[in-house]
């Protein structure tokens, strides 16, 4: 499954700081349909994320009935990204 969407990067200050992009509701519902066959537990969904010319592997996190995409430091550095930047995400999930 390949999904494309855009959104701003936001910061979560939890025990370990993370940067995320929220998956829009329409795309989140498509992910929810395949989640039972792709999750490895706790609702986590393995995926590849491409922003610009950079692709990284990660796992989507369930949040508030939807999903969020972690924006790894390697991705931030390679594409010169920061909090508040609006990015276009290409998300690949093996379903």
Q: What is the mean pLDDT of each run of 10 residues along the chain (95 residues)?
A: 98 82 98 95 94 97 95 94 97 92
pLDDT for the residue numbered 95: 77
pLDDT for the residue numbered 14: 72
- Measured between alpha carbons, how far apart are the two ends of the chain, in Å? 6
- pTM check: above 0.85: yes
pLDDT for the residue numbered 13: 82
Q: How far is CA 13 from CA 20, 44, 52, in A?
A: 11, 20, 25
Tokens of 60: 């989507």
pLDDT for the residue numbered 16: 66
Q: Which helix (H) or strand (E) holds 31?
A: helix 25-38
């Amino acid at each position: 499954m390949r999904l494309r969407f855009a959104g701003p990067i936001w910061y979560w200050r939890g025990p370990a700081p993370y940067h995320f992009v929220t998956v829009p509701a329409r795309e989140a519902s498509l992910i929810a349909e395949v989640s039972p066959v792709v999750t490895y537990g706790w609702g986590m969904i393995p995926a590849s994320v491409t922003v610009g010319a950079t692709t990284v592997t990660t796992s989507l996190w369930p949040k508030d009935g939807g999903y969020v995409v972690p924006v790894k430091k390697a991705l931030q550095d390679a594409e010169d990204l920061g909090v508040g930047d609006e990015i276009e995400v290409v998300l690949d999930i093996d379903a």
